Structure 1
Amino acid sequence: MLPELAEVLTSARVVALPMTTRFRGIRVREAMLFEGPQGWTEFSPFVEYDDHEAVSWLRAAIDFGWRPSPQPLRGRIPVNATVPAVPAAEVAAILRRYPGTRTAKVKVAEPGQTLADDVVRVRAVREALGPEGRVRVDANGLWNVDEAEHAVHALAPFDLEYVEQPCATVDELVEIRRRTSYMGIPIAADESVRKAADPLAVARAGAADLLIVKAQPLGGIHAALAIVEEAGLPVVVSSAIDTSVGIAMGAHLAAALPELEYDCGLGTAAMFVSDVTDAPLIPEGGSIPVVRPRVVEARLEALAADEERTAWWRDRLRRCFHLLEASVAL
């Protein structure tokens, strides 16, 4: 059962968190938080997403705020560092924000940059982590198959753990996986899971070796667990540049998985200058705890979005809530 819209709106707060480095084209991350019987929860689809795509994010927020999370199987979640498409000279400083992490995810295929830029950046990460570190790269589907094949060859000397979403479509992922299979570098699917009408299509097509799962886009912890079980592939639980409240949702998802082979992309609270809690879920010793952070009123006030943006988010919540109601009634 859904809560009443008025109940959600009563506690809803909109925040704008400044980021330490430009990432995904933004320097400020907006999010809406509200409180349910289980505690604070988060609704933060990216602003460019339409209402139909954002509904899953609202379903996830209600799931985390009104439904008990599954019993955790572990108390801490190992996480990776996230390296934006920065110059190589900035890599070491970024990695220092993730103390104890053994794994780094490096953004590649940035519009306006070249493969040579990617090679220099990935080399810097490998040198910083040393031979025992784990390096994964994420192209966000921005290469075509030929570009991806060329890039995998160029980056292979840095001993990649996997390549995330090298191409946009499932058919392209099938082809690049076929072309590069002899290299032994796994292909991971992210957008082909979280933005797909059928998140299991990539697994059925044999298009990936592992899946990136994110609690909010997939409709919440319980929905994501069902997808993982049916897909039958290893997974990496990741975030969508969430506040520590959204990160906690991802941590509870990761904690409920029977197996957790890979470090998770849940260290991204380290990308914020400030957060909504006095104890943000930033990595310590390479991991984060499985907790619900205590949201602090003074921080909500300090990070509050302006009136115009708050009104925009409240209108968005109303529209998405009515769409969610309609889908539940079917």
Structure 2
Amino acid sequence: MPNHEEKANNITLYPISTSNFNPSRNKGIFLSFVSLILLGILPIISNSRPIELDALNFAFYLSFWELICSLPLLIIEMSHSDSGLFQKSLEKKVRNKTLIVMGITGIIFSISTFFYVFSFEKVGTVSAVIAIQTYPLFSILWEFLFFNKKKQPKEIIFTLIMIFGIYYLATGGTWLITGFSPWFLVVLIVPFLWSVAHVTIKNTLDKSPITPIQVTFFRVLISSIILFISSSLVNGLETVFNGFLNNEFQFFGFFMGLVYYLELINWFFAVKHVKVSVASSITTPTPMITMILAFFLLREAIEPFQIIAMIIIFVSLYGLLWSGFRIQKQLKIQSLTTPP
């Protein structure tokens, strides 16, 4: 499901034509705020669904409707240009390699979609959405292990602050290990899987001409297939098909799928207009939107420890963004001052 650190990294991996394109900062900021609202709404939709609709079937239905929602833009793109994986001049080896990577990441995202829905159900809307913001924590780990990217002291400090915030949230504000909820580990599976997916696609898609629309389509296509098979095996094929005949089930599946697809596409266009760091800083307060909506729409109580944990994690996220910006600025200065 949606995560902007993941998509922030991925946007550079999915080249799109920039001919005759004039970036607009105001438009980029506006689209980033749209993403903020859409991301804040998703957990509310998930936990508003009928109690009879279990997480696995719901994950399949929302992925199915997301797939349907992705078709119009895909058809329009294919009818207007010979782009992405459908370029006639594209080497077969590159196309096949990209399709394999999309298949692997599609499987990963199908699993994360289920746990995304399941975690909100078990942990609660507010705590889960705060915990999912920890994606950078896993990204830092994988970058260190696989790419040997050493982190600066500032990044390490803000990472430690984030870990303290997550532990505080997981223990219900008690700091005691006895207060640790095992369901909280389920939530952390989501950002963990997102980070694994990013590492998986990073090197392959750097040189791939696949477009954002195609990336989204293949991702939800594979996810839908995997989740359909899983739902059929666990709940029975008859139950899955009967769910399609339930208007209430399909309303929430369609609503969730539509909002999530719109958020994905909106984000890709937002970061065409502004830097990823700018868009990410705008979408960081997503838990605040969810918290407000959960209080008024779901009548979910907001605990003081959740607010404190959210502030701690916000500080660490903005600190990591600031550290990254400083490092990029220093590298740019060094490249300009270093003789060829």
Same fold (TM over 0.5): no
**Which structure dedicates a bigger proportion of its chain to helix?**
2
Normalising by structure 1, we get a TM-score of 0.24
Higher relative contact order (CA 8 A, sep 6+): 2
**Which structure dedicates a bigger proportion of its chain to strand?**
1
